[in-house]
Amino acid sequence: MAWLRCILHIDLDAFYASVEEVVNPDLAGLPIIVVMGEANTQRGAVATASYAARRFGVHSAMPVGQARKLCPQGVYLPVRHGLYEEHSQKVMDLLRQQTPLIEQVSIDECYADITALQGELDGPQIAAQWQELVKTQTGLGASVGVAANKLVAKMASGHNKPSGLTVVEPGYEAEFLSPMPVGDLYGVGPKWAARLNSLGVMTVGDLAAADLDILRENFGPHLGQDLQERAAGRSSETVITSRETKSLSAERTFFEDTYNRAELWRHIQQMSEELAGRLHKQELLARTIAIKLRFNNWRTITRAITLASPTDLADEIAFAAGGLMRMAWKRGTPLRLLGVRVSNFSETGAPRQLLFPYSYRTR
């Protein structure tokens, strides 16, 4: 039977590690750990762990030194952003061949509104067909959630990983969500979960049944009601097929404080190359370049520079970011995070000049 509204959330499983298996089949089934930072040292953090590695207790954001203790036999690989973006694009292009109603929300996940595609096949049958299509055409596994709205579809896709297909039929949203810890509800972060726990709200079902006046008193009139609506599985968000890009950014988090000038410059160059590639793909030029620094006392600053003319060249982005670093960072000061951001876009037909003069902006 066709659903009045049918939304899919498609989440590619252990995406970075799975791509590494696709390009090197000899890695299939091995514990793969993709590392942000230096894969062959104790530095850096785990970006993604394959499911074989997760059985040893390795997980995302874990310091790589700890991962090596848990899984010394693992295959440790550096992040390859360009490769992952290429495979992500293959998946998204494949899905857009099925329907234009695709909303990509990250490199490895998207929503799809398949309401109008239902006919001989209903929504769950189409979802199963797409799941198999992605696997056969790209080699990548995906978990899929099927529901009447985006919120519940998102919750469903994570329910039975990897390669799960979870269907929440209309009218059963609250029942599906009810036993989950309240902190698992999409949009509820750790701070809100802790506050809800202090009010005796431990599960999503507790939140759905909570006194609305108490929720409004503690979270404000609008947020309190929104939380309860979400807990009941109600959401009216639509699939957004295009968004105006306002900025692009790349960051590196260091799980050991970093102060080596050459290493920081290498990260700036890598991030600049990544951003230049993304600008090329979107046919954009950036006029404003910014850096973000977080020190070991968690103080965070940003510095920005506006170029005389826009650019999509990695060398120019890195040159500008390096100049900002010389102004903002005192050599030898340890950093926990370094980021580069580009913004103030124009299309690639815009004229280009030399980088100078600059207009500086700080905050």
Mean of the pLDDT values across residues 235-258?
82
353 band by pLDDT with thresholds 50, 70 and 90 = very low
Residue 358 has pLDDT above 90, yes or no: no
Percent of the chain predicted with pLDDT > 90: 70
Backbone angles phi, psi at 266, to 5 degrees: -60, -40
111 in Cβ contact with 241 (< 8 Å): no
Residue 189: what pLDDT?
Answer: 80
Judging by beta carbons within 10 Å of its beta carbon (0-12, 13-18, 19+), is residue 355 exposed, middle or buried? middle
Residue 37: what pLDDT?
Answer: 66
- Whose structure tokens read 């991030």? 271
Q: How far apart are CA 46 and CA 129, in angstroms?
A: 32
∠ CA 236-240-245, nearest 5°, is 135
Residue 360: what pLDDT?
Answer: 41
Neighbouring residues of 154: CB distance < 8 A, sequence distance ≥ 6? 9, 111, 145, 186
Classify the C-alpha dihedral 199-200-206-212 as positive or negative.
negative
41 band by pLDDT with thresholds 50, 70 and 90 = low
Q: Are strands 45-49 and 32-36 parallel, antiparallel or unpaired?
A: antiparallel
Residue 32: what pLDDT?
Answer: 97
39 band by pLDDT with thresholds 50, 70 and 90 = low
Query: How does pLDDT run across 271-309, given as a tens digit for each residue?
Result: 999 999 889 888 899 999 999 998 888 788 999 999 988
What is the total residue count of the chain?
Answer: 363
Mean of the pLDDT values across residues 103-109?
91
Residue 351 has pLDDT above 50, yes or no: no
Can you list the domains of the chain with their CATH numbers?
Answer: 7-12+83-172 (3.30.70.270), 16-81 (3.40.1170.60), 174-231 (1.10.150.20), 247-362 (3.30.1490.100)
Neighbours of 104 (CB within 10 A): 21
Mean of the pLDDT values across residues 63-76?
94
Q: At 87, which helix (H) or strand (E)?
A: helix 81-96
Half-sphere exposure of residue 296, counting CA atoms within 13 Å on the CB side?
A: 9
11 in Cβ contact with 150 (< 8 Å): no
Residue 342 has pLDDT above 90, yes or no: yes
| CA–CA distances in Å: residue 134 to residues 32, 128, 131, 280 | 21, 10, 5, 26
Q: How far apart are CA 168 and CA 171, in angstroms?
A: 8
Largest CA distance in the chain: 66
Q: What amino acid positions are annotated as catalytic residues?
A: 109
Residue 234 has pLDDT above 80, yes or no: yes
96 - beta bridge partners? none
Residue 191 has pLDDT above 70, yes or no: yes
28 band by pLDDT with thresholds 50, 70 and 90 = very high
* Pairwise pLDDT comparison (166 vs 186), residue with the higher score: 166
The pTM (predicted TM-score) of the whole model is 0.71
